[in-house]
Chains A and B, each alone.
Chain A
């Protein structure tokens, strides 16, 4: 049924919304497309999977806490990956794109070391999703409830952070580095902070993804940065960027829409092997829409004829 397909896409989309929010921080706030994402999401998934596997030997009462701890570690290890990219960029003056590629390449080996093998199966393990399922009495869509909860917390924390003095400094760094330095802020330190938090969120998304789908695979990161970018752009074009809160919600919803488009395409019989090509095409269209975005909103303004808020 189509509705089931859409709801399943929503479950997955809510996890990808955390990824999208992370990519938003690097791509929009710092104005750098950060390729570390393809590696850091796997790091998050690997850590989370290893921790959940280890939890199986523990007292069932603490297993749940350990799964949550796994997500915290996913966040922290993701931050580490982002920090390395930022340091390569700021200390060694390697171009941001290249720094991201280097970390993405190197981290593949680290992810393999963390996992100890190419993939980890979690199908019968306790995860945050199985816990939520139990807590809600086997409710079919408990993953949606959990996803909305986590996304809401992340959005609120991000909004709060971006409205602090430190958050202002971070946002200004992507806008205008000269101004930031003239205002007594170390732009290098802001890039370190921004890329760390960004990849921390990506790592968290990876950790959630592993627990949701019940496995972690070292190859699962390919194309994740593209999905993140697509989500950011689709969300902004569809849901608007007027205020910061609106923008964050738009980005999160962008990820959901992206998953739904893919879900429907698969439902309509697209072979899964074509997925990557379709992803690339969607992102190309989304980027083009972003380019045309200003004309698009101008056109909207005209058609509403002098409406003050158009």
Chain B
């Protein structure tokens, strides 16, 4: 599904601020995988995701998604195969448009965008039905502007928008970090639900090591722009937060929360 080979990203190349954010990263993700990614600040987690999503180009290496080489594809083109949720709840939606208009934008990602009606009756029924799965009552507020939603509701909506067009890859960059504990729990539950899709490969960055081991089927740890640990199955079941800290001398208090 997702194949990353020798991926390197250097910021400010040739300047005194030169920084190697990703150093020869090799990684393989399969369909149905739900991979949690941990690592302290500056480890290269977000850079990895941004390289996969095409926010900025990589220095060298290749990224292949489902057999298609997307290394040089512009961000908006590869977005057809990739769903994304950002850390900032403001970043995932158009705040001055209604819930159903936002859903339509996400839903039509893989369809032609011409002068068709923005939302057809069938679309509206589908959105309503699917929104009720979130269990937040949003299905009755489809004509309200997104600016009226709380952070948790927005993040749930963004998550839903990220998967509505059936992407191959779902990238979650600390998508619950800005939420209060109960909203974060709810969005994580929804993440588990959507990640169950066997055709989808999900990658989730989190600073919460406990959540990283509880959710998904695979955990990778990044340090200094490289993948230092990649565990799954039994090894992962036996792994605890304490062991991780001992093994990797993690000194970031935030990760213990």
Task: Report which A residues bind B (CB closer than 8 A).
Answer: 161, 163-169, 171-172, 175-176, 178-187
A/B pair count, beta carbons within 8 Å: 87
Q: Which residues of A contact B83 (CB under 8 A)?
A: 182
Knowing A172-B94, A178-B86, the reply to whether A185 touches B118 (Cβ < 8 A) is no
25 sampled A-B residue pairs with Cβ under 8 A: A164-B114, A164-B115, A164-B118, A165-B104, A165-B108, A165-B112, A165-B117, A166-B113, A169-B105, A172-B97, A172-B102, A175-B95, A176-B91, A176-B92, A176-B94, A178-B86, A179-B92, A179-B93, A180-B76, A180-B94, A182-B84, A182-B92, A182-B162, A183-B161, A186-B76
Q: Nearest CB to that of A165 among chain B residues? A: B113
Q: Which residues of A contact B162 (CB under 8 A)?
A: 182
Interface centre among A179, A184, A187 (most CB of B within 10 A): A184
Q: Which residues of A contact B79 (CB under 8 A)?
A: 181-184
> Is B115 touching A166 in the complex (CB atoms < 8 A)?
yes
B80 in contact (CB, < 8 A)? yes
> Is A184 touching B77 in the complex (CB atoms < 8 A)?
yes
> Is A176 touching B95 in the complex (CB atoms < 8 A)?
yes
Task: Report the minimum CB–CB distance from A228 to chain B (whole Å).
Answer: 20
> Is B74 touching A167 in the complex (CB atoms < 8 A)?
no
Knowing A164-B114, A164-B118, A166-B115, the reply to whether A183 touches B105 (Cβ < 8 A) is yes
> Is A166 touching B93 in the complex (CB atoms < 8 A)?
no
Near A by CB (< 8 A), chain B positions 92-141 give: 92-97, 101-102, 104-106, 108-118
Q: Which residues of B contact A168 (CB under 8 A)?
A: 97, 101, 104-105, 108, 118
Per DSSP, are chain A's interface residues mostly helix, strand or loop, or mixed?
Answer: helix
B52 in contact (CB, < 8 A)? no
In the assembled complex, the Cα of A163 lies from the Cα of B105 at a distance in Å of 11
> Is B105 touching A186 in the complex (CB atoms < 8 A)?
no
Interface centre among B79, B83, B110, B165 (most CB of A within 10 A): B79
In the assembled complex, the Cα of A165 lies from the Cα of B74 at a distance in Å of 21
Q: Nearest CB to that of A160 among chain B residues? A: B115
B59 in contact (CB, < 8 A)? no
Q: Which residues of A contact B101 (CB under 8 A)?
A: 168, 171
Q: Nearest CB to that of A166 among chain B residues? A: B113
Interface centre among A172, A186, A187 (most CB of B within 10 A): A172
In the assembled complex, the Cα of A164 lies from the Cα of B117 at a distance in Å of 4
Q: Which residues of A contact B110 (CB under 8 A)?
A: 184
Task: Report the minimum CB–CB distance from A198 to chain B (whole Å).
Answer: 17
Task: Report the minimum CB–CB distance from B46 to chain A (whole Å).
Answer: 14
Q: Nearest CB to that of A186 among chain B residues? A: B76
Other A-B contacts than A166-B113, A171-B97, 13 sampled, CB-CB below 8 A, are A161-B115, A165-B104, A165-B114, A168-B118, A172-B94, A172-B105, A175-B96, A179-B94, A181-B75, A182-B84, A182-B162, A185-B113, A187-B76
Task: Report the minimum CB–CB distance from B86 to chain A (whole Å).
Answer: 7
B53 in contact (CB, < 8 A)? yes
Knowing A169-B113, A172-B94, A182-B53, the reply to whether A163 touches B118 (Cβ < 8 A) is yes
Q: Which residues of A contact B111 (CB under 8 A)?
A: 165
Of A167, A169, A176, the contact of B93 (CB 8 Å cutoff): A176
Q: Nearest CB to that of A31 among chain B residues? A: B96
> Is B109 touching A184 in the complex (CB atoms < 8 A)?
yes
Q: Which residues of B contact A161 (CB under 8 A)?
A: 115
In the assembled complex, the Cα of A165 lies from the Cα of B101 at a distance in Å of 9
> Is A178 touching B91 in the complex (CB atoms < 8 A)?
yes
> Is A164 touching B116 in the complex (CB atoms < 8 A)?
yes
Q: Which residues of B contact A183 (CB under 8 A)?
A: 79, 105-106, 109, 161
Near A by CB (< 8 A), chain B positions 47-96 give: 53, 74-77, 79-80, 82-84, 86, 90-96
Q: Which residues of B contact A184 (CB under 8 A)?
A: 76-77, 79-80, 109-110, 165
> Is A181 touching B118 in the complex (CB atoms < 8 A)?
no
Task: Report the minimum CB–CB distance from B147 to chain A (whole Å).
Answer: 10
Interface centre among B105, B106, B165 (most CB of A within 10 A): B105
Task: Report the minimum CB–CB distance from B49 to chain A (whole Å).
Answer: 12
In the assembled complex, the Cα of A186 lies from the Cα of B73 at a distance in Å of 12
In the assembled complex, the Cα of A186 lies from the Cα of B113 at a distance in Å of 11
Q: Nearest CB to that of B115 among chain A residues? A: A164
In the assembled complex, the Cα of A165 lies from the Cα of B102 at a distance in Å of 11
> Is B74 touching A186 in the complex (CB atoms < 8 A)?
yes
Q: Which residues of A contact B108 (CB under 8 A)?
A: 165, 168
Knowing A181-B79, A182-B84, the reply to whether A171 touches B94 (Cβ < 8 A) is yes
In the assembled complex, the Cα of A293 lies from the Cα of B182 at a distance in Å of 34
> Is B114 touching A166 in the complex (CB atoms < 8 A)?
yes
The 6 closest A-B pairs by CB, nearest first: A175-B94, A172-B94, A184-B79, A184-B109, A165-B113, A168-B118
Q: Which residues of A contact B93 (CB under 8 A)?
A: 176, 179
Q: Nearest CB to that of B53 among chain A residues? A: A182
> Is B116 touching A165 in the complex (CB atoms < 8 A)?
yes
Q: Which residues of A contact B80 (CB under 8 A)?
A: 184
> Is B76 touching A185 in the complex (CB atoms < 8 A)?
yes
Q: Nearest CB to that of B116 among chain A residues? A: A165
In the assembled complex, the Cα of A163 lies from the Cα of B115 at a distance in Å of 9
Task: Report the minimum CB–CB distance from A290 to chain B (whole Å).
Answer: 14
Q: Nearest CB to that of A176 among chain B residues? A: B94
Task: Report the minimum CB–CB distance from A205 to chain B (whole Å).
Answer: 24
In the assembled complex, the Cα of A183 lies from the Cα of B91 at a distance in Å of 12
